[in-house]
A and B are shown apart, each in its own frame.
Chain A
Amino acid sequence: MKPRRIALTSHARPDDVLAWRAAGAVTRNQFLAEVEMLARSLPAGDYLLNTCEDRYRFMVGWSAALVAGKISLLPASQSVETLRQLQASYPGLFCLHDGKGALAELPQLRYPEMPAVADADAVAVPGIETDRVAVILFTSGSTGLPVAQAKTWGALVSNGRAGAARLGFLDERSPSFTIVGTVPAQHSYGFESTILLTLHGGCALWHGRPFYPADIADALAAVPRPRLLVSTPFHLRALLDSQIDVPATDMMLSATAPLSAELARAAEARLGGTLVEIYGCTEAGQLASRRTSLTSRWTLLQDIGFDQQDGITFACGGHVEGRQRLGDVIELGDDGTFLLHGRHADVINIAGKRTSLAYLNHQLGAVAGVEDGCFFMPDDGSDESVTRLAAFVVAPTLTPRQLLDALRGRLDPIFLPRPLVFLPRLPRNATGKLPRATLAALLDRHAKDAS
């Protein structure tokens, strides 16, 4: 039987706009011609680490790898240690970058200058086999090794279409939105909501990744309406706090951390559009959404189902491959909607980067000179400011600087402890455990001593 294929993009017309760069619009056929050109110049290895910061270049690089039969790896962190592990597990790994190369000693290809496409009329849209692994995302496992989450092309297309359907983009009367994203294309949410929404949700994307509030306003002003801002509670709060003029934005997406109804309403009032919050995880992809300004209840995306066992929730159906265990405490309603009640104790999520206490503790314990130690996640303050991890450690031969340097090679910077508290011993109880209340009190005492 011939394998089923789905086109690289659902944009049907050669002159459909897929992206906006400073120089103007990029049509579908221009994009396809660049994909083909880049696909021909990729090195021989089977695996691609795509670190392009420019979103359009990322999309071309990712598509070129797909067309050339290679698999793109999207690790959660680009620390030296992570890349070393990836290199060991994926022989032939090479890095495509557009400025900063990878930290590790990988074969590197700098994103090439593309000549202007003279005649893009005759370019055919490549079809990709639906059962081909198209991307491997990674979550941090508790043993210290990243856990691979392979996604097939068929699942990615379903994922993009489920998101697009929820936002009304698959309706043939829907205009084409242009996406301005503040989140990296390499992160699960950013990948789905910028790259997949462009390839299979009828959208176009802005090439840059604006960072400061003024950058976001500039990027929005540079693209036509309707505009879709793909962002996080953290960036949205910064944008609103900045008091600058923001161009009318027809829709906003937020994910990676809980958004308060208050911030959602303020964003809608200020930017003029509707704000949709997305719930999901790297393993399962996006799963549900809500209009946060109006309701606290989440509605599942098409074809997705939840079931529960012993307080644990599993997602399946639609683009979810297999049955995926979720890290959140979920209360299912009779009507299929649900409430989120925070994370299970071990799961850490800071600014959209996720890990587990077990993983962090494993990394801390593996540093030479550390006799005992543990990370601690304080209770969240307000939900739009970022709460940092603390760590308690027994390491009489190390200075704080030495320990931080060692951790920096092992962890994403966002997980570095602040504060890092040195102790003569940890307050373990009779069973060797470190009760949360004890650690909270210890942190309080440290804060008082420091001030």
Chain B
Amino acid sequence: MNEPTTLPDGLMAEVADLMVAALNLDIAAGEIDPDAPLFGEGLGLDSIDILEVALAVSKQYGFQLRSDDEDNVRIFASLRSLAGHVAQHRIK
């Protein structure tokens, strides 16, 4: 699948804000490294967090996430990949 190489202006920051708000993270949105892993040694998110973010994404951008295994891992690989997925699938 082709990832858009450039994201719409401000989308990455918007998704970062959404994550910080949805998860009540102890970090400012601007401090999230766009390319650091969201799971494990990066932000340390777990599956509960992923579901919270998915819910917030579906409300704000109007599309549902689905577990197509590999895809899912790729979507939540980093802030950049999540924002890229949102850019591709958003309907609002």
Interface residues of A (CB under 8 A from B): 210-215, 218, 234-235, 238, 241-242, 244, 351, 386, 388, 404-405, 408, 413-414, 416, 418-420, 450
Contacts and interface: CB of A to CB of B under 8 A. Distances in A.
Q: Which 4 A-B pairs have the closest CB atoms?
A: A214-B64, A419-B26, A413-B46, A211-B67
14 contacts: A212-B54, A213-B54, A213-B55, A213-B58, A215-B67, A234-B51, A238-B51, A238-B54, A242-B55, A242-B64, A386-B48, A408-B44, A413-B46, A414-B46
A351 B48 contact: yes
Given A218-B66, A450-B26, A211 B44 contact: no
Nearest to B69: A99
Contacts of B10: none
A404 B44 CA distance: 9
Given A242-B58, A405-B41, A210 B67 contact: yes
Contact of B41 (A212, A386, A408): A408
B26 A212 contact: no
A388 B52 CA distance: 14
Given A388-B24, A413-B46, 17 more contacts: A210-B67, A211-B47, A212-B51, A212-B65, A212-B67, A213-B54, A213-B58, A215-B66, A215-B67, A234-B51, A235-B51, A238-B51, A238-B54, A241-B59, A408-B40, A408-B41, A408-B44
Most chain A C-beta atoms within 10 Å of own C-beta, residue among B50, B52, B58: B58
Contacts of B24: 388
A211 B55 CA distance: 12
A213 B48 contact: no
Interface of B: 24-26, 40-41, 44, 46-48, 50-52, 54-55, 58-59, 64-67, 72
B82 to A, nearest CB: 14
A185 to B, nearest CB: 15
Given A234-B48, A238-B55, A213 B67 contact: no
Nearest to A218: B66
Nearest to B58: A242
Given A238-B51, A414-B46, A214 B66 contact: yes
Contact of A212 (B25, B44, B66): B66
A176 to B, nearest CB: 27
A413 B37 CA distance: 15
A44 to B, nearest CB: 32
Nearest to B68: A215
A207 to B, nearest CB: 13
A419 B24 CA distance: 10
Contacts of B50: 211
A212 B46 CA distance: 14
Contacts of B25: 418
A211 B51 contact: yes
Max count, chain A CB within 10 A of own CB: residue among B48, B52, B54, B59: B48
Contacts of B26: 418-420, 450
A414 B66 CA distance: 22
A247 to B, nearest CB: 15
A438 to B, nearest CB: 20
A81 to B, nearest CB: 15
B83 to A, nearest CB: 18
Contact of A241 (B40, B44, B48, B55): B55
Nearest to A400: B26
B4 to A, nearest CB: 23
B88 to A, nearest CB: 16
